[in-house]
Amino acid sequence: MTASAEERPQTRVPLNPERVMRTAIEMADRDHIETVTMRNLARRLGVEAMSLYHHVENKSALLDGMVDLVIGEIIEEVAAVESPDPRDDWKAAMRERILAARRVLLRHPWAPQVIEQRSLMSPSIVLYFEGTLEIFRRGGFSNDLAHHALHALGSRALGFTQELFQPADAGDEEAAGEMLAEMAPKLPYLVGMLAEIAHDDPDSTLGWCDDQAEFEFGLDLLLNGLEQINRPQ
Residues near DNA (CB under 7 A) are 14-15, 36-40, 42, 47-51, 53-55, 58-60
φ, ψ dihedrals at 46, nearest 5°? 70, 40
Tell whether residue 61 is a contact of a copy of itself (CB under 8 A): no
* Cβ atoms < 10 Å from Cβ of 93: 21
Burial class for 143, CB neighbours closer than 10 Å (0-12, 13-18, 19+): exposed
Of 50 and 181, nearer to DNA (C-beta) is: 50
Amino acid type, 184: A
- 48 touches which of a copy of itself, DNA, none (CB within 5 to 8 A by kind)? DNA
Phi-psi region of 47 (alpha: psi -120 to 50; beta: other; left: phi over 0): beta
* Cβ atoms < 10 Å from Cβ of 68: 15
- 232 touches which of DNA, a copy of itself, none (CB within 5 to 8 A by kind)? none
Choosing from 12, 151, 202, 233, the residue that interacts with a copy of itself (CB under 8 A) is 151
Cα three-residue angle 85-86-89, rounded to 5 degrees: 90
Say how far apart CA 87 and CA 139 lie, in whole Å.
5
- 37 touches which of DNA, a copy of itself, none (CB within 5 to 8 A by kind)? DNA
- 55 touches which of DNA, a copy of itself, none (CB within 5 to 8 A by kind)? DNA
CA distances from 171 to 84, 118, 177 (A): 46, 30, 10
Choosing from 13, 19, 48, 217, the residue that interacts with a copy of itself (CB under 8 A) is 217
- In the chain, what's the furthest Cα-to-Cα distance? 67
Tell me how far, at minimum, the Cβ of 32 lies from DNA, in Å. 12
Tell whether residue 92 is a contact of a copy of itself (CB under 8 A): no
Task: Return residues touching a copy of itself (CB under 8 A).
Answer: 113, 115-117, 119, 121, 123, 126-127, 129-130, 133-134, 137, 143-144, 146-148, 150-152, 154-155, 157-158, 161-166, 168, 172, 176, 179-180, 183, 186-190, 192-193, 196-197, 200, 206-207, 209, 214, 217-218, 221-222, 224-226, 228
